[in-house]
Structure 1
Amino acid sequence: MKSITIKSIAAFFLLACSGFTNPVSEPAPVKDISFKDAFKGKFYIGVAINRFQAMGRVEDEAKLIKEQFSSISPENDLKWQMIHPQSDQYNFEPADAYVNFGKESDMFIIGHTLVWHSQTPKWVFEDENGNPLTREALLKRMEDHIKTVVGRYKGVIKGWDVVNEALNEDGTLRDSKWRKIIGDDYIEKAFEFAHAADPNAELYYNDYNMYKAEKRAGAVKLVEKLKAKGLRITAVGAQAHYSLENGTLQEVEATIKDFINAGVHVNFTELDISVLPNGNAANSADVANSAEYKEELNPYTKGLPAEVQTKLADKYGNLFKLFVKYKKHIDRVTFWGLSDRTTWLNNFPIRGRTNYPLPFNRDLSVKKDVKEAILSAVQTSR
C-alpha cells in the first residue's frame, strides 16, 4: 500500500466537505467552440454557400460549413434565372442539392430570393412577341413561380426572402419592371402568394444599406403597410455589407430599434466587412455598382497588415456584442460567403482585388483574433 501524505489527506477532506467526490473537468475554452455552438440558444449563425459547396465538390469547404454553421443561404441557385431560366423549364438539381446539404446537418434553411429586379430573365416580363406583359399576366407569372418553387420545398426551407432590394437609397420604391407593370402592390402580392404556398414559412423583406436612416424609414413604412394589410412578414433582412468605416455601431443599433418598433425581428443576412477603399464606386451593394480598377485600390495583395486585421476584429467583436444584446429580436446572423477565397468582394465593386472581409482566410484557416473577438460577445453576455 502506497503511503498517504498529509497533503493528499487534506485535499480529500476539502473535496468531501464541499460535496464533491470526483474531479470536475473544466469547460472547453470558448476559442475552441464552433460559431454555431457558441451562439446556440441566442440566434442561428449562417453562411451563404455556392453550388460547388452544396454539391460537395469542395470537400474542405463543405466540412467547414457543417462544423461551424447552423443555417445556410444559397448564393445564387434559388434566384429566378438559375431555377427558372425559361418559361417552360425549371432547373431544380442545384437547389435540391443545396436543400439536401442543409437537411443532412439539420440546418435552418433559407430560400433566397423570390422577387428581385436583378437576375430575373427578360422573358418573365414579356409576352411571346416581346411586348411587356399586362398587370394580370405578370401577377399570374409571379404566382405560378412562387407556388412552384416554395411549394417544392414546403416545410423544408424554413424562411424565404420574398422580395429583395425594392427600395432606392432615399427610401422610395425602386422603379423596377415589377413595379412598372404591376404597380406598388407587387410587394404585397408576392407576400400573399408566398404565404399561400407555405403558411408555416417565415417571410422576409431583404435589403442593403438599412443602416442609413432614409432607406430604413422606407423599409419601416413598407413593413407597416404589409402588416396593416394583414400579411405575414416575420423579419426584415438587413444586408450587413459593411466596411471598416461604414455601418457604425450607432447606425446598426438604430436599425435594430426601428424594426423592433415596427413589430418585426431584424436579421443580419449578408454580413461581411470590406477592408478595401471603395474608390469612385458608390457606397452601395447594388449589383450594378462598379468602379475602375487602380493599383492603389488594391493595397493588400501580399497579405492583410496586422493593424488592419485588428480593426477588422474590433468591428466584428463590437457588432456581435450588439447582436447578443438584442438577441430576443434577432433570429439569424449570416455571413455572405465562407472565406476570403470565394467572397464576392474580391470582384465588387471593383474586379480583380484581394479582399479579407470574413473570419476565414483563403486557406480556410480561421483569423484567430477575429474569431476570438466575435466569441467575446458570448463571454461578456454570461
Structure 2
Amino acid sequence: MEMYGENPSAAPGRRQRSETVEVVDTRRAPVGAAAWPRRYRRCRGELLDTAPTPAIVAMPPCNDGKFATPSPCKGARGRHRRCHVGSATRDHSHGTGRLRAQPRSGGRRRRSVLASVLAGMTALAAVGAGQQAVAAAEPALPPSGQTFEHYPPMKDVYADHFSFGVFGAGEIEGLTYNYASYTPGNEMKPESTQREKGVFTFDAAEAAFARYEARNPDLLRYGHTLAWHSQTPTWMWDAPPARFGQPGTFDRAVALENLNAHIEAVLGHFGDRLVAIDVVNEAVGTADPADWRASLAKGEGWYQALGAEWVELAFLKAAEVVDANGWDVKLTYNDFGLDSPTKARVVHAMVEDINERYAGVRPDGRPLIEVIGMQGHYNLATDVEAVEQNIKLFATLPGVEVNVTEMDIALPPGELTPENENNQGVKYAELFRVYRDHAAGPANTTGNPKVVTAVKLAGVRDVRTGWKGGEFAMPYDYDGRAKLALLGILYPDEFLATHEWIDTSGGEELPPVPGVHVYDTSAGDSWSGANIVLGDDATAWPWSTTDDGEVAFRPEPGATYRLTVNYTAKGTTSIRVRWLRDNSNGGYTNADGALVNAHPYAADQVATQLPAYFNSGMVNMGSYDLVSEITMDGSQPADGLVGNIGIRGGGGGNAFSVNTITVEKVTGTGDELLVRWPEGVAEPEPPATTLAYRGNNWVTVTLDGRATAPATLARTEYRVGAGEWTTYEGPFRLKRSDRQTLRYRSVDSAGTVEQERCVTFRPGGGSVDVVVPPDEDSACVVS
C-alpha cells in the first residue's frame, strides 16, 4: 500500500462514501517490535492512512477537502523557499517553526530546509448534484531533515514499478527499511573470491548477505561481479610474471581455462539464491559506435589474452552453468557512462550482435545477455534526457531488461550548500520520473517501453571517506537525516512542481594556462583532476596529442622533470598520476593500465615511477604537495609509459581540489620552471645585448650579452649585411665608409632569443665613441 499518493477523484455529481476501519500494519513495525495498529479511512476501495504516523505529514483527502498543509516560509523567491532571520534560520524540518542559531564556522554545517508546498495546484472536485464545487488542494510534501522511519520505504513506494535495492554496504537499519535487494560492493569480486588460483573463499560475501538478511529475511540477492579487469588477480589472464604453473605470457588457452573455472565455481556456489549477476563489468574502453569490438581494446584485463571475444565467452560459460541447473538467474552486462549516447550505442551494438549470433543457444528463447546494468554514477551535470533516450535505445533489444545500478548523484565537495541540495533533489526527481515511466511493473501505465526492472542506489547515507566520500551523493546525510534528495526520489512529480533548478554558475574565471586543463566538481565540473598535455611534434615525442594546438611543455627524451601537485582532500584521500593517450577523463595508455597499482607512495615520498599511486599519509581536508620526479623515456612505444599526464582521484573519487601544479626541468646547473598553474609562467625575460663602438673611419665593435637568471647566456651572434650569423667571440673592426648594417642578438640557455637589433654606419663626423644600451629602440641606429 502506498502511504502517499495522488488525490483520488470521485465521479461528478456523486458523494464519495467514506468509512473508517482498523487494520494491523505489520509492514511498518520495526524489527522485533509488535505490529502497529493503524486507523485508515476507506476511500474508493483504497485504505488511506488517517492517523498522524511519523511517515505521513498530510494524506490525500477523500473528496472532502480536509487536509493539513504546513505554511511555507513567506517572501522567498520563486518556489525555492528559505527563511533567514538575522543569523538564524527558521526551521521547518521538524514541524516546529522554531528559530535556531546557525554556527558561523567550525561547527556542524547548517541544514537549510527548503519548505515546499504544492502551491497553486488545485482542482475542482464535485461533491454532489447541485452543490457548489470546492477547490481540493494537494497535500504538502513532508519536510526533510528527519530519520528514515518518518518516510515511507523507498522499496514500497516503487514496489509495483521495479525492485528497489542497494549496491554496497550501508547503515543497517536504513538499508533494510528502504531496500528490497542487496548487491555486495566488493565481497564477490574476483580478488575477494579467488585471490590465489584454485583457492575459493565465499566467507566475506556470505557474511555480507547474512548481516542484512538477519534484519530482512526476504531481502533479494544480486551478484557483482564474475569478470572484470579491475580488482582481479592478474594471473587470471596469465599476465607476467609466471605464477601457479602458468607461462605468464597472456596465453589464450590458460586464460580461458581460468575464466571458465572462476565463473563455474562462484556462480555454482551462489546459484539460484541470486536474482541476477553481473557476468561482465565495464568491458568498454574508448567507445567507437562504428566498431564495438575495437571499443573493447584495453591494455588491461581479459582483453589482453582473449581479445574482444572475452565478453561473449564469459556469458556463454555463465549461461551454461545457469541453464544446466535450471536456475532463473538473470545474466547482466554492467557498465558506467551509459548516459553517454556514444557509449550507449557501443553497448547496444555489442549486446545486439552477441544475442543474435547466439540466439537459440539457451532454453525457452532466453537471450545470452539478459540485462544491461546502467551504472548511475551521476552528478549535477548529468543529462537526464540522454539517460531516457538510452533507456529507450536498450528497450529495442528483444528480451533485454535494464537495471539502474550503483546510483548516486555527487555534489561538489566541501560544504553542502542549500542550492546544491536543492539541485540534487531536482536531479534525483527527474531521473526517478524517467525510471518510473519506463518501469516494467504493472503500475507503469504510460505508453513508454516497459524495461526497467530494478534500481539500486550506491548506499544509504553520505560518507566522509571511501566511495563518493565527501560528495554528499546519497539521500540521507552523515547523521541519517533525509535530504531533499529523498523527497525527490519518493515524490518526483510533487517535488518538481515545487522546486526549480537554481543556477549556481558564475565566479571568477581563471586565465588559461597553455596545455594545462584542470577540473573541479566544486566549481561545477563533472569530475576533479587535471590533464597536462605534452608535445606537439610526434617526431620529437612518441605521443603528441594536443587537441587545441597548445602544450604545457615539449619533453626531451632522457631529460628529468619534477611534477608537483598541491591538492586538498575533501573526501578523496588518494591520488593517482597516470599516463594518458588523449585529453579526456580516461584514455589511459595500455602500459599505464597494466601497472596502475604497481607503484604506491606516501604523501611525503617522491614518486620515481609513473603511474604513481599516492595512497597513504593523507587525511580529509588536508592539503599536500605530491611530487613525482621522472626521466622521460622517449623510446617507449606510443601505447607505453608515455603520453600526457593525468591527475586523478584514487578509487574514482572526485572529492578533492587541485590547488597548484608546477613542472620543472631538473638540470645540473639549476631547475628550470616550465609550467605553473594557475598563475602561469611569466614570459621569460629575453637576454639583452649592449653594443659599443669607437674609432674614426675604422671602428672597433664590442657586444656584451647578458641573460636573466636562472637562464644563462648561450651565445651572442651578429651578421654584417646579408651575411651569415656569426657567433661573437671578441671585438672586431668595421669600416664606416662601407655603409654597412650590423645586426646582433643574444640567445639564453632556455632558447629565448633576443629581438634582433641593428646599427647602420655612415662616414664622416670624425671620431666616434658610442654605446647603444639594450633598452633603446631596436630600430637601426644611423651612425
Q: Distance in 2 between matches of 1:342 and 1:147?
A: 38
Q: Distance in 1 between matches of 2:183 and 2:308?
A: 28
Note closer, same or farther for the CA distance 1:152–1:342 as it changes in structure 2 (3 Å cut): farther
The 8 Å contact of residues 333 and 369 in structure 2, kept in 1 or not, is answered as yes
> AA paired with 1:174?
A
**Cα distance, 1:255 vs structure 2:** 1.0
1:322 equivalenced with 2:434 (yes/no): yes
**Cα distance, 1:378 vs structure 2:** 7.6
Deviation string 1:190-245 (CA, Å, 9 cap, x unpaired) is: 11111122232101111111111111111001111221122522210111111101
Return 5+ residue gaps in structure 1 as ranges: 1-16, 54-60, 277-297, 348-353
Name 2:29's counterpart in structure 1. Answer: none
Q: Distance in 2 between matches of 1:342 and 1:90?
A: 33
Q: Distance in 2 between matches of 1:256 and 1:102?
A: 31
RMSD of aligned residue pairs (Cα, Å): 2.2
More helix by share: 1
The 8 Å contact of residues 234 and 301 in structure 2, kept in 1 or not, is answered as no
Name 1:251's counterpart in structure 2. Answer: 386
Name 1:47's counterpart in structure 2. Answer: 166
1:78 equivalenced with 2:211 (yes/no): no
1:91 equivalenced with 2:208 (yes/no): no
> AA paired with 2:474?
L
Q: Secondary structure of the residue that 1:327 maps to in structure 2?
A: coil
The 8 Å contact of residues 162 and 454 in structure 2, kept in 1 or not, is answered as yes
> AA paired with 1:74?
P
**Cα distance, 1:250 vs structure 2:** 0.9
Q: Distance in 2 between matches of 1:233 and 1:346?
A: 30
Q: Secondary structure of the residue that 2:405 maps to in structure 1?
A: strand
1:118 equivalenced with 2:230 (yes/no): yes
Q: Distance in 2 between matches of 1:80 and 1:270?
A: 18
Note closer, same or farther for the CA distance 1:378–1:160 as it changes in structure 2 (3 Å cut): farther
The 8 Å contact of residues 79 and 113 in structure 1, kept in 2 or not, is answered as yes
Note closer, same or farther for the CA distance 1:167–1:161 as it changes in structure 2 (3 Å cut): same
Note closer, same or farther for the CA distance 1:102–1:189 as it changes in structure 2 (3 Å cut): farther
Name 2:536's counterpart in structure 1. Answer: none
Q: Secondary structure of the residue that 1:261 maps to in structure 2?
A: coil
Deviation string 1:49-84 (CA, Å, 9 cap, x unpaired) is: 23xx6xxxxxxx112111110111111010001111
Name 1:373's counterpart in structure 2. Answer: 488
Q: Secondary structure of the residue that 1:183 maps to in structure 2?
A: helix
1:355 equivalenced with 2:478 (yes/no): no
Q: Figure out how many residues of one structure are paired with residues of the other and give that number.
A: 323
> AA paired with 1:110?
Y
Return 5+ residue gaps in structure 2 as ranges: 1-14, 22-39, 42-47, 50-54, 60-141, 143-150, 289-294, 360-366, 441-450, 496-783
1:38 equivalenced with 2:157 (yes/no): yes
The 8 Å contact of residues 162 and 204 in structure 1, kept in 2 or not, is answered as yes
Name 1:160's counterpart in structure 2. Answer: 277
1:184 equivalenced with 2:294 (yes/no): no
Q: Distance in 1 between matches of 2:162 and 2:490?
A: 13
Name 1:174's counterpart in structure 2. Answer: 297
Q: Distance in 2 between matches of 1:21 and 1:188?
A: 59
> AA paired with 2:207?
A
Name 1:14's counterpart in structure 2. Answer: none
The 8 Å contact of residues 426 and 488 in structure 2, kept in 1 or not, is answered as yes
Name 1:286's counterpart in structure 2. Answer: none
The 8 Å contact of residues 340 and 356 in structure 1, kept in 2 or not, is answered as yes
Note closer, same or farther for the CA distance 1:102–1:155 as it changes in structure 2 (3 Å cut): farther
1:337 equivalenced with 2:470 (yes/no): no
Note closer, same or farther for the CA distance 1:38–1:183 as it changes in structure 2 (3 Å cut): same
**Cα distance, 1:345 vs structure 2:** 4.3
Deviation string 1:123-155 (CA, Å, 9 cap, x unpaired) is: 212253652242122111111111110011111
Q: Distance in 2 between matches of 1:322 and 1:41?
A: 15
Q: Distance in 1 between matches of 2:281 and 2:19?
A: 59
Q: Secondary structure of the residue that 1:184 maps to in structure 2?
A: helix
Name 1:287's counterpart in structure 2. Answer: none
Q: Secondary structure of the residue that 1:66 maps to in structure 2?
A: helix
Note closer, same or farther for the CA distance 1:21–1:103 as it changes in structure 2 (3 Å cut): closer
1:364 equivalenced with 2:458 (yes/no): no
> AA paired with 1:197?
V
> Percent identity over the alignment?
26
The 8 Å contact of residues 462 and 476 in structure 2, kept in 1 or not, is answered as yes
**Candidates 45, 66, 69, aligned match of 2:179:** 69
> AA paired with 1:223?
V
Matches within 5 A, 1:192-203: 192-199=316-323, 200-203=328-331
Q: Secondary structure of the residue that 2:274 maps to in structure 1?
A: coil
Note closer, same or farther for the CA distance 1:122–1:322 as it changes in structure 2 (3 Å cut): same
Deviation string 1:311-355 (CA, Å, 9 cap, x unpaired) is: 0101101110111010121011111122212674445xxxxxx21
The 8 Å contact of residues 282 and 334 in structure 2, kept in 1 or not, is answered as yes
**Candidates 270, 273, 285, aligned match of 2:409:** 273
> AA paired with 2:267?
V
Q: Distance in 1 between matches of 2:461 and 2:279?
A: 26
Q: Distance in 2 between matches of 1:21 and 1:71?
A: 36
The 8 Å contact of residues 49 and 338 in structure 1, kept in 2 or not, is answered as no
Name 1:241's counterpart in structure 2. Answer: 377
Note closer, same or farther for the CA distance 1:306–1:62 as it changes in structure 2 (3 Å cut): same
Q: Secondary structure of the residue that 1:87 maps to in structure 2?
A: coil
Q: Secondary structure of the residue that 1:111 maps to in structure 2?
A: strand
> AA paired with 2:473?
P
**Cα distance, 1:252 vs structure 2:** 0.6
> AA paired with 2:264?
K
More relative contact order, 1 or 2 (CA 8 Å, 6+ apart): 1
The 8 Å contact of residues 372 and 401 in structure 2, kept in 1 or not, is answered as yes
Note closer, same or farther for the CA distance 1:309–1:133 as it changes in structure 2 (3 Å cut): same
Q: Distance in 2 between matches of 1:258 and 1:117?
A: 26
The 8 Å contact of residues 102 and 109 in structure 1, kept in 2 or not, is answered as no
The 8 Å contact of residues 239 and 271 in structure 1, kept in 2 or not, is answered as yes
Q: Distance in 1 between matches of 2:466 and 2:405?
A: 15
**Cα distance, 1:100 vs structure 2:** 2.8
Name 1:150's counterpart in structure 2. Answer: 267
Q: Distance in 2 between matches of 1:63 and 1:215?
A: 37
Q: Distance in 1 between matches of 2:465 and 2:353?
A: 35
**Cα distance, 1:85 vs structure 2:** 0.7
The 8 Å contact of residues 78 and 113 in structure 1, kept in 2 or not, is answered as yes
Q: Secondary structure of the residue that 1:177 maps to in structure 2?
A: coil
More strand by share: 2
Note closer, same or farther for the CA distance 1:345–1:20 as it changes in structure 2 (3 Å cut): closer
Note closer, same or farther for the CA distance 1:177–1:312 as it changes in structure 2 (3 Å cut): closer
The 8 Å contact of residues 274 and 345 in structure 1, kept in 2 or not, is answered as no
The 8 Å contact of residues 277 and 329 in structure 2, kept in 1 or not, is answered as yes
The 8 Å contact of residues 246 and 254 in structure 2, kept in 1 or not, is answered as no
Name 2:345's counterpart in structure 1. Answer: 217
**Cα distance, 1:180 vs structure 2:** 2.1
Name 1:8's counterpart in structure 2. Answer: none
> AA paired with 1:198?
V
Tell me the TM-score normalised to structure 2 length: 0.39
Note closer, same or farther for the CA distance 1:22–1:77 as it changes in structure 2 (3 Å cut): closer
> AA paired with 2:162?
F
> AA paired with 1:256?
I
Q: Distance in 1 between matches of 2:235 and 2:269?
A: 22
Q: Secondary structure of the residue that 1:314 maps to in structure 2?
A: helix
Q: Secondary structure of the residue that 1:198 maps to in structure 2?
A: helix
Q: Secondary structure of the residue that 1:361 maps to in structure 2?
A: coil
